[in-house]
Structure 1
């Protein structure tokens, strides 16, 4: 092994090439040219910096606006006002002219106006209340009318009355019902119940819902002029634990809707869903 400080053959060859290149640059004068170029560049940079500090910022050039009239189309020239260009539209108060206000109507004219307005409102209310039922439409409904006296099968948003439980506006199948049969809106629907106490939507039930959900017959309800809906029975305390079992009312009581529970009720020996719920509520209370 050689000494640590000794140069290798590669380093010796590299130093020899460097010395040869330097000698060649001296012979061609390249090193002198490089020094001159660097001096010239530094002098130019210093002169630019001195010139920039000595010169002041130029003032902005003023914009010259021509006073010649603008070119406009013949349509705009014809539509321009005949007065001077400086005149503008101003109110009479701003121009200094006297302002004459319109006189208010007298008491007699006001009463006439009020009477006319009331008459117009009455006419509008009458137009809103009156509902024209087409006879051809009623005849077509009669042809499609369900023979069953349950919930009915023909939905009608005008003649049909919404049942509180099934929430269907279907025409009933009662033979003597003039509302669903003849289209008379002034007549009640014989296929829907009416509470004698509240006369509200809570007491409107169709034949099928009345039988399945509460175990009552429509004929018996018609004969009983004092028939009351489950809401009124509960409020008056006539029948304890007798409640409305529609999904709307059960949700208000935080009770899950029963769905189609008539089959379970009949299998357990109950007459209707209401009787099943009444028994459950009694057990919970005890």
Structure 2
């Protein structure tokens, strides 16, 4: 048994190997190279590069470069270089006809512009009002949808936007003077009007009213106190009856239903609104 404080055989071998490695490093000059690299690194850290002061921004007084198209469009001697619309410049504005191709090619020769009527009128107090030219009325009557559905003719002025499908299409109602005769003062018989809000939330075409809410246009016309699904939902008249347009569903954080009428009819529901009402009832209970 070895004496206390004496080195063991392992420690003696370890010390001998360390001494051998140190002698080898001295012979190769590794320790000298390591010292020089340490001195270089410390010296470079002390000599930090001075921060460059930002140059002041020079604002040129020369005019801005403009494209050749804008330069050519600017009238000579004009003080303002901003582009303005024809309406702001006081010029006459006409609605451009939609590009006609195929079956609509015959509409190219028709007068499809709108006109301004300056004749005195008791309602307008002599102010000019927008009217539809006879040529456009004739062209619309030829293209007008015969059915009483959603319609097939888009018109940005005569058409009234439906809250669900958001289409400004002319209705197919026989007695509608707005869509049939081009009278802008008359309401569209193929669109509903809410007795409560009188807003765009209460405007539905015949097809959307039937498919999405299960209501008939004739019954809505007879009911002077008819309220749109949006107002029924807000007033809480029918607890689980909601407006299923994408706008209203997103406000309720419900994904839009898309074409859900086929699924609703397969399950025996009258409309998409009845399907959603049943789902909300089951979720509540």
Match of residue 257 from structure 1: 256
1:131 match: secondary structure: strand
Match of residue 242 from structure 1: 241
1:142-221, aligned counterparts within 5 Å? 142-221=141-220
1:1-286, aligned counterparts within 5 Å? 126-127=127-128, 130-286=129-285
Uncovered stretches (5+) of structure 2, i.e. residues with no partner: 1-123
Offset, 1:270: 0.5
Q: Which has the higher helix share?
A: 1
Offset, 1:135: 1.2
Q: Distance in 2 between matches of 1:256 and 1:268?
A: 20
Q: Distance in 1 between matches of 2:162 and 2:230?
A: 15
Q: Distance in 2 between matches of 1:266 and 1:226?
A: 29
Q: Cα deviation per residue 1:1-51 (whole Å; 9 max; x = unaligned)?
A: xxxxxxxxxxxxxxxxxxxxxxxxxxxxxxxxxxxxxxxxxxxxxxxxxxx
1:132 match: secondary structure: strand
Q: Distance in 2 between matches of 1:191 and 1:139?
A: 20
The 8 Å contact of residues 192 and 204 in structure 2, kept in 1 or not, is answered as: yes
Offset, 1:186: 0.7
Q: Cα deviation per residue 1:42-77 (whole Å; 9 max; x = unaligned)?
A: xxxxxxxxxxxxxxxxxxxxxxxxxxxxxxxxxxxx
Offset, 1:236: 1.9
Offset, 1:212: 0.2
After TM superposition, the score normalised by the length of structure 2 is 0.55
Offset, 1:132: 2.5
Uncovered stretches (5+) of structure 1, i.e. residues with no partner: 1-122
2:152 match: secondary structure: coil
**CA-based RMSD:** 1.5
The 8 Å contact of residues 131 and 183 in structure 2, kept in 1 or not, is answered as: no
Q: Distance in 2 between matches of 1:172 and 1:155?
A: 10
Offset, 1:253: 0.8
After TM superposition, the score normalised by the length of structure 1 is 0.55
Q: Distance in 2 between matches of 1:283 and 1:132?
A: 52
| Stretches of 4+ aligned residues off by more than 3 angstroms | none
Offset, 1:131: 1.2
